[in-house]
């Protein structure tokens, strides 16, 4: 995998020990700046104003304050697409449609706004970042069978030939690589705590405890950046404890994502949610170096280091030599609460766009929206056509 640019390929080593910010930014949560400070006329910030006022809860404070059940319900709402759900009655469907139509005025369709997006990106160096579940593949009850279609795989492969492209997922990196199966991408698993790329892009392992060199992909040398490597024994211990403590609860699934552990309750009767939450809480009390995060019908146990998908996005931009340039244009597409960290980074930088994938109104720091993976694929196809038409002056390409 070779990157061609008008500059020499950058080399990034781990710039700071684990106790300090690695990316030169404050380690506290980054608020969403007002849209007016970015691009006039873009969506209002009232849907995510609360994110700017509240400080990020530490450890288990968020769930203790509202109760386990309330926290799990709030992070796992039942979204229905009014255009696809035939079980809704007239008034209910009209209400959902009205709410969505109001919301989409502030977060327009990325497909309908494609010309505006490409006008902003024209002449700039594009980098593309994609979540996996709910973005490239549909959300399914069993995460083991969340497969992307062959057509989506082909489109992702083609778009990676046009722009540097990375998958940033909460899943284990090896699992994401297995599901996607494309060598021309960068992969960031465990919410960015396990990043894989070529040696020249992610730096040398010399003098860096968090970077190791390996030969995993068709004999090619790659670098693996792992800022939480010392947590591995603890994560494995917690995984085994969680598997044991939720035995007997029908439908629950515990997944070891290497640097985090996911407890899925999508297939669990709602009456048992609070039981799951309390048991996970009891385990975490024994591990003060770990913290709990909520996702869509999943509880995730992670190390307490200041690292998330937003930090992974910045790390990859740095690796690509796009972090200090005024002519770069990152696009991040994701559907989950954890993707908001990346959306916030783009708003804070005032460069590029976040695109949220959802069929229902939700608080977000994204600028645009897409309904589902089918629309994501359509958007990627439009990017490919735009690039190949010669309308783009993009100067960074990724060849395989």
pLDDT in tens, 226-242: 999 999 999 999 999 99
Q: What is the pLDDT of residue 73?
A: 60
Residues 6+ apart with CB under 8 A from 147: 137, 179
**What's the average model confidence in pLDDT over 165-191?**
93
CB distance 278 to 157 below 8 Å: no
Higher pLDDT residue, 192 or 72?
Answer: 192
- The more confidently predicted of residues 318 and 353 is 353
Residue in 173, 131, 172, 132 with CA at minimum distance from that of residue 254: 172
The pLDDT of residue 327 is 83
In CATH, the number for domain 2-19+31-47+106-228+306-399 is: 3.40.50.1000
At residue 91, the pLDDT reads: 64
Higher pLDDT pick, 68 / 284: 284
Q: Give the residue, 66 or 85, on which the prediction is more confident.
A: 85
Three-point CA angle 241, 247, 249, nearest 5°: 130
pLDDT digits (tens, 9 = 90+) for 182-212: 998 999 999 999 998 764 445 433 334 454 4
CATH class of domain segment(s) 52-83+230-303: alpha beta
CA 147 from chain centre, in angstroms, equals 17
Looking at residue 397, its pLDDT comes to: 37
Contact in structure between 109 and 369 (CB atoms under 8 Å): yes
Taking residues 36-63, report their average pLDDT: 38
pLDDT digits (tens, 9 = 90+) for 302-334: 999 989 999 999 999 988 888 777 788 999 999
For the residues 263-290, what does the mean pLDDT come to? 90
Burial of 228 (0-12, 13-18, 19+ CB in 10 A): buried
Q: What pTM, to 2 d.p., does this model score?
A: 0.71
Answer whether residue 370 shows pLDDT above 90.
Answer: yes
Tokens of 10: 């950058």
Q: Mutual orientation of helices 373-388 and 150-160 as an angle, nearest 10°?
A: 40
Residue with tokens 């085994």, as numbered in its chain: 240
Two tokens at 391? 């309308």
pLDDT band at 85 (very low <50, low <70, confident <90, very high): low
30, pLDDT greater than 50? no
Q: How far apart are CA 313 and CA 129, in angstroms?
A: 8
Report how far residue 69's alpha carbon sits from residue 79's, in angstroms, rounded to the nearest whole number.
Answer: 18
Q: Is residue 27 very low, low, confident or very high in pLDDT (cuts 50, 70, 90)?
A: very low
Q: Is the pLDDT of residue 87 over 60?
A: no
The full set of domain ranges for the chain reads 2-19+31-47+106-228+306-399, 52-83+230-303
């Amino acid at each position: 995998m070779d990157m061609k640019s008008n500059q020499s390929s950058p080399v990034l080593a781990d710039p700071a020990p684990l106790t300090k910010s690695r990316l030169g930014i404050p380690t506290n949560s980054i608020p969403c700046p007002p849209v007016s400070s970015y691009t006039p006329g873009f969506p209002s910030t009232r849907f995510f104003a609360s994110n700017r006022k509240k400080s990020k809860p530490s450890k288990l404070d968020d769930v203790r304050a509202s109760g386990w059940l309330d926290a799990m319900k709030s992070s796992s709402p039942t979204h229905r697409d009014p255009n696809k759900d035939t079980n809704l009655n007239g008034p209910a469907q009209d209400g959902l449609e009205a709410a969505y139509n109001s919301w989409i005025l502030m977060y327009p369709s990325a497909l309908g706004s494609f010309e505006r997006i490409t006008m902003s990106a024209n002449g700039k160096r594009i980098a593309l970042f994609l979540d996996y579940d709910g973005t490239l593949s549909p959300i399914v009850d069993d995460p083991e069978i969340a497969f992307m279609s062959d057509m989506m795989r082909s489109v992702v492969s083609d778009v990676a030939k046009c722009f540097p492209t990375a998958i940033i997922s909460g899943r284990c990196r090896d699992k994401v690589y297995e599901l996607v199966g494309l060598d021309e991408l960068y992969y960031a698993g465990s919410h960015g705590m396990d990043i894989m790329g070529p040696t020249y892009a992610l730096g040398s392992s010399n003098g860096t405890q968090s970077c190791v060199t390996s030969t995993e992909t068709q004999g090619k040398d790659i670098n693996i950046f792992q800022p939480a490597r010392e947590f591995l024994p603890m994560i494995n211990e917690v995984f085994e404890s969680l598997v044991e403590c939720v035995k007997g609860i029908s439908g629950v699934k515990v997944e070891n994502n290497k640097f985090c552990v996911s407890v899925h309750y999508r297939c669990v009767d709602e009456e048992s949610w609070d039981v799951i939450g309390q048991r996970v809480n009891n385990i975490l009390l024994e591990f003060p170096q770990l913290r709990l995060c909520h996702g869509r019908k999943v509880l995730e146990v992670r190390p307490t280091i200041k690292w998330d998908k937003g930090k992974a996005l910045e790390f990859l931009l740095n690796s690509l030599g796009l972090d200090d340039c005024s002519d770069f244009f990152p696009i991040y597409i994701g559907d989950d609460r954890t993707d908001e960290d990346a959306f916030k980074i783009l708003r804070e930088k005032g460069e590029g766009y976040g695109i949220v994938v959802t069929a229902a109104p939700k608080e977000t720091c994204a600028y645009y929206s897409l309904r589902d993976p089918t629309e994501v694929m359509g958007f990627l196809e439009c990017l490919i056509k735009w690039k190949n038409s010669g309308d783009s002056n993009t100067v960074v390409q990724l060849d395989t």
